[in-house]
Chain A
């Protein structure tokens, strides 16, 4: 039955399209039965594995960019995997901005593809309607609508009545509203893939079907070739577009490439046409509260969904039995069918054609996976589409092609970068459990600061149990458990854990108390998750290499800490870190938690191959306790019998000292918040001891535990940018007011220097700005999160990147980037200080605009008279 169906969805175009590349690859026309008429080339520049939408899109874009020496291998037939069974909905309504851009690009690409290639793609601009059954759902739709609108994608929030006008079959009695995206489209996904393949093949790409890749050979950390069942191809680049088999393919070679994805069964229903066949331009319906989508299909409907109890499969790898068992499971589909009939009661009498079971692959964080392997250069991946393959296909292929050709894509794709994962997300058990959570999440309402529940407690600090017992509430980053806040004894714990809201959360006062304690006394935050590297050498190699790789001057006296960016050629932040000079020849580097793989790879690929230069990941060796607050000095000096005052221990300073009984504690006078205090890097076996000592000693100074929410509020009100939230590879220090962390004249060349020089001379095109919401009622209004559009004098100028309530200012603070778009051409112009200061600003939160005051510098005066320690320049200090 499945075979019969293949033909149904793929239409007849398969055959029409086929001869085109058959001719290109010199296949004799009369030998469909003959398996391999053309032998594989012995070498190619790029080998792409997988002939689905991803593989063909990458091939298409690579060939468009002028690369010709490309071979695409497909184990079966082109577009025969998930692509064939895909529902063919191109939907741009995506919450993550980069995904939205990919989908928008895909839509435009598919629209003109038929004209370009002559292959019918079935493209039909039907529009889509996302329904809201609850007010919260409507808020989330409004947030998406805001970001679609500022990108120039038509989109409106409509009333239930309007929904009925657009789609007569819908039952609207339980709806509170909907979002209409008129330019969303339907395609035949298999044919889009074939069209892309046809175009690529015309551009010289060789396509070989029925050829399976057994493994990729890697030598000295570089791809050298591909072994197939038809022989070997030497290549420079390999692209793994093997869809749900990408994980296995990644693991097939001697050196595994970890691609964390896992397949789940996915069901959708096909019906016979209605008595009065549905029009082919009827909009697609997405009903997330009912967990279903419904599109018109050949006069009838196609409807599927994301059930609460997904069925993961292929956990142990490809398995014939599981493939055979991929059958219709009506009992499983029952709830979705119920939701469909509730939404469209008129369909009761419609006849079923088939229930299709097509596995989809999902990733641990619901975002797709692209980029280069951290362990094998030239090994690229594009997979794990979380059932949005057709929406992302065009854009994802384009970014990956740019990445291969230019070394970097034209947009910030960090949220999708393979390197956001480590080997720790590669356990099959973890993936199986996580995707069972991820698939239902496709439809679940996502409120600010939601978190995954599965695959938790993987990496923990040695203090985990202690903190947990004291009421810690946890969130997870890169597998590491971090404290959000501490629930004070006596609070209603259950209630707190279930709070989900777009408004003021119920931890508001709890975090407020923690912030107050940081301001007035002292708090301890466990920050062990931060990535920690040690780089040392026998001679000056370490200093010399780091001076080239980092923009600040690292040739500082021993014991000093330097905040610096790790920049790329364009001056953008690949990483933002603090580096302590432990000795003349060794450095201790602290970066954000999720930098563990990326930063390691970046440095590894750029450090000279010198056995006397050693880099070590010591993340696991140290527990980090951040003592924030004016009394941190007192606690620490009492515990160490050492004077800790500014004269003896200036800010941005690092010293190994004893704390309590424990020796060899690295104490640094930084807090990552702009508040006074210290971070203690404690060898893990001393962690409990030092923590206990600090808490005991701290009692008389009013010490308490605090979590990351307090830290966030503190750093955002101080206008501190965090990498991964505010900073990315497309942001330079010049654009975020950090010129003082760049030493353009440090006497030697460094990465990004040229780009920064140019920016210094010509100005920047965006500027990191702090906004204080003016007419925002913290108790009543929707809270900002991130990604809210910023309007200057009524015109869109950029988006926020993070936000927090400032307990000091008693206002919300948003951080974000302001651009200057030419009013007529939309061209980006230089952003000057005057441009920022002379505007009237508004922030759009789910369609509602709030007045905001823009600032380029933090309110130092507001925060008492204390010196702002973290940002003090170092030049005044004498060398030891």
Chain B
């Protein structure tokens, strides 16, 4: 079985999406030029999700990848809902009031987010009302709490993560009279999802991470080479601090059973996650909800199963670790990706491949003659070379696609091997998961000129 290059391309490009930040009349110039995103499924259906949106009532842009496990329900819900929670957490008191008043009097709502979605990225229509009500309760509480202080992004991110996870848990406990919704909220709560979210506003980049997806900054050194800077810590057994944290939160007696075979309670790879109420609720609560739940839930062995050595829940949290980074002109791009990428590729290679890709396409840094002494012949040579580079090097128009091509198709010499690509992509569904994981990548490109200008202002 052999895939032709066009077939390979159509598989790789099926989910690609690009967004270019529109330019405005000289003002409000964004530090983000745009982003490319893509995902390649290994599970059927894919359990990864991605989101991107521009905040309309505050400044900044949100981007995130979500790696689901035990189904895609939780990742789907988080991908739909988390950005609203973050946006609301960031809103000033007056805007919250305005929104609440609008809802109260049935007027049109201020748009909060502008989504940048691939046609395959869907939102659940059925649950929107339920989700909206939970969100509204959240902002009503925020209004009541009015602290009068300006919102700190770090705090907003942490609050939003925790609140959403809390709502997911609560909705599952309360249930819903509509049986479809009732089953949905339970599936959301019993499945899990990691989240790695970036908030970019000017030179302020915040990464909020829960779980083992990763954010990485691509930095161009003065000599033009590329290096990678991690902007998140993986929450898994390889992270000593994280193991330490888990151990601190539970009695010494559980120390041995807490982390087994590099998994939480011997079961879960990520040490932080949304959903996964099996690692959060008490045994009584789990039993009660499962028993009163619909049959599908009751008959499901996984949901009924109580983790071994389950003594002092919760064992799991959705609280993110937030890292703040001030963008510098040499910070050219940010890669957010689920562990599917990081398992196959070293971050240093990721930085180099994306960096070279972007400068290759982007070498369109316009040439200016300025005061230099350039002859017609030299210029002609230079231009010919630039043209040759564009046309030959890249068949991808999307940095994320390009990265996936390398991640899946790289041979031992670090070059894309078509035969390998073809094999990896034509694996039957049931085998695919053995050789690779779902892979979701967002590559955000920064506008160095704008960042430089910000820096000079400060």
Which positions in A face B, CB cutoff 8 Å?
1, 269, 271, 319-321, 324, 327-331, 333-334, 337-338, 340-341, 347-355
Of B23, B366, B369, B386, which one neighbours A354 at CB under 8 angstroms? B369
| Residue B288 CB within 8 A of the other chain | no
Given contacts A331-B386, A337-B379, A351 and B366 within 8 Å (CB-CB):
no
Inter-chain CA distance A341–B383, complex, in Å, is 13
| Residue B4 CB within 8 A of the other chain | no
Q: How far is the CB of B348 from chain A (nearest CB, A)?
A: 31
Of B25, B369, B376, B387, which one neighbours A348 at CB under 8 angstroms? B376
The answer to whether A328 touches B369, judged by C-beta atoms less than 8 angstroms apart, is yes
Residues of A within 8 A of B377 (CB): 341, 347-349
The answer to whether B373 touches A329, judged by C-beta atoms less than 8 angstroms apart, is no
13 examples of A-B residue contacts, CB within 8 angstroms: A330-B369, A330-B382, A331-B367, A331-B386, A334-B380, A334-B384, A334-B387, A338-B380, A338-B383, A349-B376, A349-B377, A352-B376, A355-B369
Given contacts A330-B367, A331-B387, A341-B380, A324 and B373 within 8 Å (CB-CB):
no
Given contacts A334-B384, A348-B375, A327 and B369 within 8 Å (CB-CB):
no
Residues of A within 8 A of B386 (CB): 331, 334
Inter-chain CA distance A321–B369, complex, in Å, is 22
Residues of B within 8 A of A334 (CB): 380, 383-384, 386-387
Q: Which chain A residue has the least Cβ–Cβ distance from B390? A: A331
By Cβ-Cβ distance, the 6 closest A-B pairs, closest first, are: A348-B377, A334-B383, A330-B367, A352-B374, A350-B376, A349-B375
Which of B26, B364, B373, B383 has the largest number of chain A CB atoms within 10 A?
B383
The answer to whether B369 touches A352, judged by C-beta atoms less than 8 angstroms apart, is yes
Q: How far is the CB of B90 from chain A (nearest CB, A)?
A: 29
Residues of A within 8 A of B24 (CB): 321
The answer to whether B383 touches A321, judged by C-beta atoms less than 8 angstroms apart, is no
Question: Considering the complex, which residues of chain B in the window 367-408 have a beta carbon less than 8 Å from any beta carbon of chain A?
Answer: 367-370, 373-377, 379-380, 382-384, 386-387
The answer to whether B369 touches A347, judged by C-beta atoms less than 8 angstroms apart, is no
Q: Which chain B residue has the least Cβ–Cβ distance from A340? A: B376
Inter-chain CA distance A338–B368, complex, in Å, is 18
Residues of A within 8 A of B364 (CB): 331
Q: How far is the CB of B315 from chain A (nearest CB, A)?
A: 54
Given contacts A324-B26, A327-B366, A271 and B376 within 8 Å (CB-CB):
yes
Which of B25, B376, B382 has the largest number of chain A CB atoms within 10 A?
B376
The answer to whether A337 touches B375, judged by C-beta atoms less than 8 angstroms apart, is no
Question: Considering the complex, which residues of chain B in the window 410-432 have a beta carbon less than 8 Å from any beta carbon of chain A?
Answer: none
Residues of B within 8 A of A331 (CB): 364, 366-367, 383, 386-387
The answer to whether A351 touches B374, judged by C-beta atoms less than 8 angstroms apart, is yes
Q: How far is the CB of A851 from chain B (nearest CB, A)?
A: 51
Q: How far is the CB of A536 from chain B (nearest CB, A)?
A: 51
Q: How far is the CB of B376 from chain A (nearest CB, A)?
A: 5
Inter-chain CA distance A340–B376, complex, in Å, is 9
The answer to whether A337 touches B366, judged by C-beta atoms less than 8 angstroms apart, is no
Inter-chain CA distance A329–B386, complex, in Å, is 13
The answer to whether A352 touches B26, judged by C-beta atoms less than 8 angstroms apart, is no
Residues of B within 8 A of A271 (CB): 376
Given contacts A328-B366, A350-B376, A337 and B26 within 8 Å (CB-CB):
no
Which of B364, B374, B375, B384 has the largest number of chain A CB atoms within 10 A?
B375
Q: Which chain A residue has the least Cβ–Cβ distance from B25? A: A321
Residues of B within 8 A of A352 (CB): 369, 374-376, 379
Inter-chain CA distance A748–B2, complex, in Å, is 89
| Additional pairs, 19, CB under 8 Å, beyond known A324-B26, A337-B376, A352-B374 | A321-B26, A328-B368, A330-B379, A330-B383, A331-B366, A331-B387, A334-B380, A334-B383, A334-B387, A337-B379, A338-B383, A340-B376, A347-B376, A349-B375, A349-B377, A350-B375, A351-B374, A351-B376, A354-B369
Residues of A within 8 A of B23 (CB): 321
Q: How far is the CB of A604 from chain B (nearest CB, A)?
A: 41
Q: How far is the CB of A170 from chain B (nearest CB, A)?
A: 15
Residues of B within 8 A of A319 (CB): 25
Residues of A within 8 A of B375 (CB): 348-352
Residues of A within 8 A of B25 (CB): 319-321
Residues of B within 8 A of A349 (CB): 375-377
Question: Considering the complex, which residues of chain B in the window 136-168 have a beta carbon less than 8 Å from any beta carbon of chain A?
Answer: none
Q: How far is the CB of A355 from chain B (nearest CB, A)?
A: 7
Inter-chain CA distance A637–B370, complex, in Å, is 79
Q: Which chain A residue has the least Cβ–Cβ distance from B24? A: A321
Q: Which chain A residue has the least Cβ–Cβ distance from B363? A: A331
Which of B373, B374, B380 has the largest number of chain A CB atoms within 10 A?
B380
Q: Interface 1/0s, chain B 332-375, versus A by CB < 8 A? A: 00000000000000000000000000000000101111100111
Q: How far is the CB of A476 from chain B (nearest CB, A)?
A: 35
Inter-chain CA distance A269–B374, complex, in Å, is 13
Question: Considering the complex, which residues of chain B in the window 7-49 have a beta carbon less than 8 Å from any beta carbon of chain A?
Answer: 23-26
Residues of B within 8 A of A350 (CB): 375-376
Of A1, A330, A341, A353, which one neighbours B366 at CB under 8 angstroms? A330
Q: Which chain A residue has the least Cβ–Cβ distance from B367? A: A330
Residues of A within 8 A of B376 (CB): 269, 271, 337, 340-341, 347-352
Inter-chain CA distance A319–B23, complex, in Å, is 12
Q: How far is the CB of B297 from chain A (nearest CB, A)?
A: 56
Inter-chain CA distance A1–B369, complex, in Å, is 11
Residues of B within 8 A of A327 (CB): 366, 368
Residues of B within 8 A of A324 (CB): 26
Q: How far is the CB of A323 from chain B (nearest CB, A)?
A: 10
Q: Which chain A residue has the least Cβ–Cβ distance from B23? A: A321
Inter-chain CA distance A404–B23, complex, in Å, is 44
Which of A333, A338, A351 has the largest number of chain B CB atoms within 10 A?
A351
Q: How far is the CB of A333 from chain B (nearest CB, A)?
A: 8
Q: How far is the CB of B380 from chain A (nearest CB, A)?
A: 5
Inter-chain CA distance A340–B367, complex, in Å, is 19
Q: How far is the CB of B115 from chain A (nearest CB, A)?
A: 25
Inter-chain CA distance A470–B24, complex, in Å, is 49
Q: How far is the CB of A633 from chain B (nearest CB, A)?
A: 60
Given contacts A348-B375, A350-B376, A337 and B383 within 8 Å (CB-CB):
yes
Inter-chain CA distance A353–B379, complex, in Å, is 12
The answer to whether B366 touches A329, judged by C-beta atoms less than 8 angstroms apart, is yes
Residues of B within 8 A of A320 (CB): 25-26
Residues of A within 8 A of B370 (CB): 1
Q: How far is the CB of A353 from chain B (nearest CB, A)?
A: 8
Inter-chain CA distance A1–B370, complex, in Å, is 8
Q: Which chain A residue has the least Cβ–Cβ distance from B372? A: A352
Inter-chain CA distance A331–B365, complex, in Å, is 10
Inter-chain CA distance A330–B378, complex, in Å, is 12
Residues of B within 8 A of A338 (CB): 380, 383-384
Residues of B within 8 A of A341 (CB): 376-377, 380
Q: How far is the CB of A436 from chain B (nearest CB, A)?
A: 20
Q: How far is the CB of B308 from chain A (nearest CB, A)?
A: 63
Q: Which chain B residue has the least Cβ–Cβ distance from A330? A: B367
Inter-chain CA distance A352–B382, complex, in Å, is 14
The answer to whether A351 touches B373, judged by C-beta atoms less than 8 angstroms apart, is yes
Q: How far is the CB of A82 from chain B (nearest CB, A)?
A: 22
The answer to whether B374 touches A337, judged by C-beta atoms less than 8 angstroms apart, is no
Question: Considering the complex, which residues of chain B in the window 245-262 have a beta carbon less than 8 Å from any beta carbon of chain A?
Answer: none
Inter-chain CA distance A324–B26, complex, in Å, is 9
Residues of A within 8 A of B387 (CB): 331, 334
Residues of A within 8 A of B382 (CB): 330
Q: How far is the CB of A409 from chain B (nearest CB, A)?
A: 42
Residues of A within 8 A of B369 (CB): 328, 330, 352-355
Q: Which chain B residue has the least Cβ–Cβ distance from A269? A: B376
Inter-chain CA distance A329–B368, complex, in Å, is 8
Q: How far is the CB of A35 from chain B (nearest CB, A)?
A: 24
Q: How far is the CB of B433 from chain A (nearest CB, A)?
A: 45
Residues of B within 8 A of A351 (CB): 373-376
Which of B367, B374, B384 has the largest number of chain A CB atoms within 10 A?
B367
Residues of A within 8 A of B368 (CB): 327-328
Q: How far is the CB of B201 from chain A (nearest CB, A)?
A: 22
Residues of A within 8 A of B380 (CB): 334, 337-338, 341, 348
Q: How far is the CB of A741 from chain B (nearest CB, A)?
A: 60
